[in-house]
Every structure is written in C-alpha cells, then in structure tokens.
C-alpha cells in the first residue's frame, strides 16, 4: 500500500479495507475488533498521510459503527438500512437522550401479529414521515397484503433514524461528549460486547485529531470498569446497591465528597446530576422516599469520604423503577448492579434484558451481617434498647454499645423471619425461621381492615386496642394464673373474642390491626426467646424493614423479651432498620467482588 501510494501520481483520498468477509447478510455480525491489530498497524504506517480516509464495506449495525469510529474509520455505508428494512425490522435504538427515551429494545419486527391492532406509531416521539402519519396496524396490514408501500414506509423510518444517529455522532465529537455518547449506544447492544470488543482501545493522537478534541488522558468508563475488576481496585462511581425484599426495596447510594481532578473531569457532571436529583427530593413519585433522617454524612467507605443516602419504595413498584431508570437514562451510568434479597432473583431477567446491565446477586444473609458490622462500627448510636418499653409516654430509650465479635442472636424480620446465631462477621449460622412475619401482618391487615400499605396498617395499629379482640388470661381465670406465673394481662388466645358476633361488631379496624400486630410479634418473641435460651446468648438483635419507623412493634418485642427472660435478655434495635443488607451489598460491590454467589450479564 505504501509503495502504491508513494509511486502513484494521482491523488489518493482513502483506503477501503476489503477481503475480510464474503459480503451478504453475515457482515452485519462481523467482529470488527478482530481486525484491530491489522487496522491499527496499517494506520500507524500511514501516519504521514493524515488526510487519508478509512472505510470498510459492512452492514454497519449501530454498535459496530461505534467500534469502527474507535478504530479510526471515517466513511460508513448505509446499506444496513436497506438490509433491516427488507426484513421488516424497525430500528428503535436510542440515539439521543431526549428522543425515543421510552424504548427498551434496539429493534423489533413489525411483521408480527402483536402489531396487527397497534394504534401507536412505529416509534413514540419519532418525527419521521412514517411515524407522524401511520400506525403500526396500518403498516402491518400493508405487509400482509404485500403492498410495496409497507416496505417503503419502514425504510423511510429506518433511514431517518439511522441518519439522526450519525448526526448525533458528529455532534458528540464536536462537543467533546464522545465517550458518554458511545457508552449510551453500546449499552443498548449488550454489555458483553462492550467488555469483549473494547479491549482497552486507546484513541491514537492521529485518530483523535481527525475526529474530535477529546483529551487522550481520558480513560473510558469501560476501561475503568475492566481495570477495577482485573486489578481489584475500587470501582468507578457511582457507588450504590439495592436490596429487593418481599415488601420493600431498599437502595443505598454513596455520594463522594473527595473527588480527584481526574474524577471531576470524567465523572463530575454525572455525579452532580445524581446528587441534585437525590437531594432535591424526599419523595420520588407516590411511593418512593429518601430517609433523610438516616443519612450518614462525611463518612469513610472503601477509603473514600462521602455521604450515604437511604431510599426505599414498595417492591410492587420495582417494574416502575426499571422503567424510570430507562426514561431518565439512569441505567447508562453504570455497567453493573449489586443486588440482594429474593427480588434479586425475581427481577433478574427484567434488569438484564431491559437495562443491559451486569446483575450481581449477593447472598442476603452475608450482606445483612456485613452491613450490620459496618454500620455498628461507623455509628456509635446505631444500637439501642428500651428501659421501660411498656411506658407509652416515656419508654426510656438508651444507646447500647454493641460489639459484633461477641455472640448474639440476630432476628431478621422481613416478609418472613430468619434467626441467626452470630459469633463474628464471618462466622454465623441460621438456626431457624418462620413464615409468620411482616408479610403476614400486612396481608392480614389488608384483609381485615381494607388498608393498602404498611404505613397505613401501622397507623391503624397504633390507634387500636388489641384487648377488644384477644382473649387474655384474666378473661379466662378472672385474674392472674399464679400457679404457672401467668399475669392476667397476658394474651391467652389471639383473636379469641372474634368468635362472638357482638365482639366482632364492637371491634374497630384499628383494634383488628393492633391485634394482628400483637399476634405476629408474640410469635416472633416466643421463638426468639427459645432460641436465645438454646444458644445460651443474652443479646438479641431485631432487624428488618418491618421495624422501620415502628416504635410500637419494638416496644412490644422489648417488653416480651424482658418479661419472659426476667430481665436477663436484652432486645436490641437498630437505627437504620431495613437497610443493612443493602449496605452489606454495597460493601461487596466496593471490596469483595470475588465472593459473589452468582453473576448474570446480557
């Protein structure tokens, strides 16, 4: 090539790399990065010919276009549009952060019965002629009747979409946002390809000068991600983790305060946007809340200084949360999500397929212990107990100095119950559990009172009187049952009065909610007390979302444990109820990636 260029009197404008495939449809899926070494060597040897243009005849799928630009290609064929249009494929990949933000697929086949009655355009928000004037159903009908107009309208849309994609590429190169833009496109076409194909590609000075003014010191997010995994260094920001329980989703986010100049240049704008969105709101939609009272400020995590934020929303809203991430492009800010809880399995497919993320599942109990260990050491006021739990006016709350290295019982109250005997952060075992937990309380309250949320159920219980529903010892014996040391105010039969019609009429919704709460908590307290005696421990920690902002439940449990143990066993509670598994999961994301039980990726 060099000899030809130097000996040729005619002006040489560029080079076309050919002979690497047999043409035809298979060229759509060619691995362009397999040619990386040859292309880069050729480009290096032609460094003196800076004005040469590079091209290759391919069906340039959008992600391959991105890789092609990384390798220094200048000219791209538009044959891809004709190829996909002939197969009735509608391009829907997101080429702009303001347009088509509701899409979750890169393409779909309009020649499918599901679109026979489609009243929408080919793509929401698209301004092409086809989308402004025709519906999915109409174009589907044209295809079925073999009308040429059908394929023409598909081509019009795809050409518009593909052309707008290239316009956005040029804009990103002009505005020095190429790295962010390439990432947005690549994430839609599988993170697996990003990892395999990028391989630490460095934009050479010649290529950068041709295409943009992007600094050669900039390290791509993908390269940062690979480096963090391979060299076991801290991951790039943002740092967050999620615990998807049966009732609530808990999300923790670490906001860094000590960004380096390089981090400010490469990640600063993203992190500022996240911070603005988080801190400017306490509520997100109807059901999402940030527990700002629990925020931990100026803390150390993974050797970095920052603030730790705590956010929650109902698990039933998890599909809406995924859609919100897509709508606001939040899924483009990271390559992986560390998740724990049963929902980490339940929502895995949706997260992987829709968000195109690496989905890392962490063991729920491991995360719980790690989170508890971290927060109890970080926050000296994390643990507390009640001195007089039966005193409604002044239950007398005291801080408890907790040491995780001394054996204790951990009762995790979620939708169900798990009871662990913990000897250290790495040495624990599950003793037993029960299906009667927070989910039972909420489910029964919804049936009995018509309430629709956990907060509503707790509010009702706070206002109720369980003695109008439960049958007490004194209701049976007329007072205390002294032979067995049973005081008259102890429940003898939960819901024992509800077999009487007149009692059912007198019981209010609040009474029913209070009785339901007492029933569930008495069961939990009884099992916990027996386990403490069996394991010979005098400290019982109660944790879980069920106890979140639920002073009433804590005091009922505290009184039960204190009474039945004759003051020997303390019921200990925690300030950051419900968030420990998410915090432990965040610790795994930052420090312990090799200990994952499973990882999925798209």
Specify the pairing of strand 107-109 against strand 239-244: unpaired
Rounded CA-CA distance 190/37 in Å is: 23
* Structure token digits, residue 335: 């390559």
Rounded CA-CA distance 589/108 in Å is: 34
Nearest to 100 by CA among 119, 118, 124: 124
User: What residues contact residue 461 under an 8 Å CB cut-off, 6+ apart?
Assistant: 445, 510, 513, 514, 516, 517, 552
Task: Kindly calculate the radius of gyration of the chain based on its CA atoms and give it in whole angstroms.
Answer: 31
Give me the torsion for CA of 572, 575, 580, 582, rounded to 10°. 160
**512: Cα separation from own chain's centroid:** 36
Query: Catalytic positions, please?
Result: 364
Give the three-class secondary structure for 546.
helix
357 in Cβ contact with 334 (< 8 Å)? yes
Query: CB burial class (10 A; 0-12, 13-18, 19+) of residue 594?
Result: exposed
* Structure token digits, residue 361: 């599942």
For residue 247, give the DSSP letter.
S
Give the three-class secondary structure for 34.
helix
Specify the pairing of strand 428-434 against strand 570-574: unpaired
Rounded CA-CA distance 402/384 in Å is: 9
């Amino acid at each position: 090539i060099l000899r030809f260029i130097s000996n040729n009197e005619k002006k040489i404008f560029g080079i076309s790399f050919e002979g690497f495939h047999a043409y035809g449809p298979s060229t759509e899926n060619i691995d362009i990065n397999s040619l990386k070494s040859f292309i880069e060597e050729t480009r290096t040897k032609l460094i003196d010919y800076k004005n040469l243009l590079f091209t290759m005849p391919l069906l340039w799928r959008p992600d391959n276009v991105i890789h092609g630009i990384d390798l220094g290609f200048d000219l791209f064929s538009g044959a891809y549009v004709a190829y996909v249009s002939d197969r009735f494929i509608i391009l829907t990949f997101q080429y702009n952060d303001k347009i088509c933000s509701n899409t979750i697929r890169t393409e779909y086949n309009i020649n499918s019965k599901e679109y026979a009655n489609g009243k929408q355009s080919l793509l929401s928000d698209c301004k092409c002629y086809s989308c402004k004037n025709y519906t999915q159903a109409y174009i589907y009908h044209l295809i079925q009747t073999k009308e040429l107009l059908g394929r023409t309208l598909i081509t019009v849309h795809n050409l518009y979409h593909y052309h707008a994609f290239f316009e956005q590429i040029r804009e990103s190169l002009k505005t020095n946002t190429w790295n962010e833009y390439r990432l947005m496109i690549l994430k839609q076409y599988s993170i697996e390809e990003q990892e395999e194909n990028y391989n630490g590609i460095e934009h050479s000075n010649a290529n950068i000068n041709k295409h943009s003014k992007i600094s050669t010191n900039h390290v791509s997010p993908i390269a940062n991600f690979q480096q963090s995994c391979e060299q076991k260094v801290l991951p790039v920001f943002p740092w967050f983790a999620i615990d998807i329980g049966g009732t609530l989703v808990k999300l923790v986010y670490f906001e860094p305060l000590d960004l380096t100049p390089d981090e400010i240049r490469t990640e600063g704008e993203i992190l500022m946007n996240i911070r603005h969105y988080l801190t400017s709101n306490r509520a997100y939609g109807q059901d999402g809340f940030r527990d700002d009272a629990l925020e931990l400020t100026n803390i150390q995590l993974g050797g970095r200084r920052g603030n730790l934020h705590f956010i929650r929303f109902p698990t039933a809203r998890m599909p809406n949360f995924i859609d919100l991430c897509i709508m606001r492009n939040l899924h483009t800010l990271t390559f992986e999500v560390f998740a724990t809880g049963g929902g980490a399995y339940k929502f895995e497919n949706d997260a992987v397929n829709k968000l195109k993320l690496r989905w890392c599942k962490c063991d729920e109990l491991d995360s719980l212990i790690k989170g508890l260990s971290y927060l109890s050491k970080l926050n000296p006021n994390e643990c507390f107990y009640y001195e007089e739990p039966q005193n409604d006016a002044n239950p007398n709350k005291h801080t408890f100095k907790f040491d995780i290295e001394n054996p204790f019982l951990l009762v995790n109250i979620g939708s169900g119950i798990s009871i662990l005997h913990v000897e250290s952060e790495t040495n624990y075992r599950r003793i037993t559990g029960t299906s009667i937990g927070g989910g039972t309380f909420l489910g029964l309250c919804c049936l009995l009172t018509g309430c629709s949320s956990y907060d509503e159920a707790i509010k009702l219980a706070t206002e109720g009187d369980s003695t109008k529903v439960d049958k007490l010892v004194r209701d049976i014996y007329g007072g205390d049952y002294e032979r067995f040391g049973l005081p008259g105010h102890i429940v003898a039969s939960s819901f024992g009065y509800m077999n009487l019609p007149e009692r059912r009429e007198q019981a209010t919704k609040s009474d029913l909610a209070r009785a339901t709460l007492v029933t569930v908590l008495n069961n939990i307290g009884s099992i916990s007390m027996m386990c403490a005696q069996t394991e010979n421990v005098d400290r019982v920690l109660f944790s879980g979302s069920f106890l979140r902002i639920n002073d009433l439940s804590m005091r009922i449990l505290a009184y039960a444990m204190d009474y039945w143990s004759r003051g020997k066993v303390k019921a200990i509670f925690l300030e950051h109820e419900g968030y420990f598994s998410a915090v432990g999961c965040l610790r795994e994301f930052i420090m312990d990636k090799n200990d994952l039980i499973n990882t999925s990726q798209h």
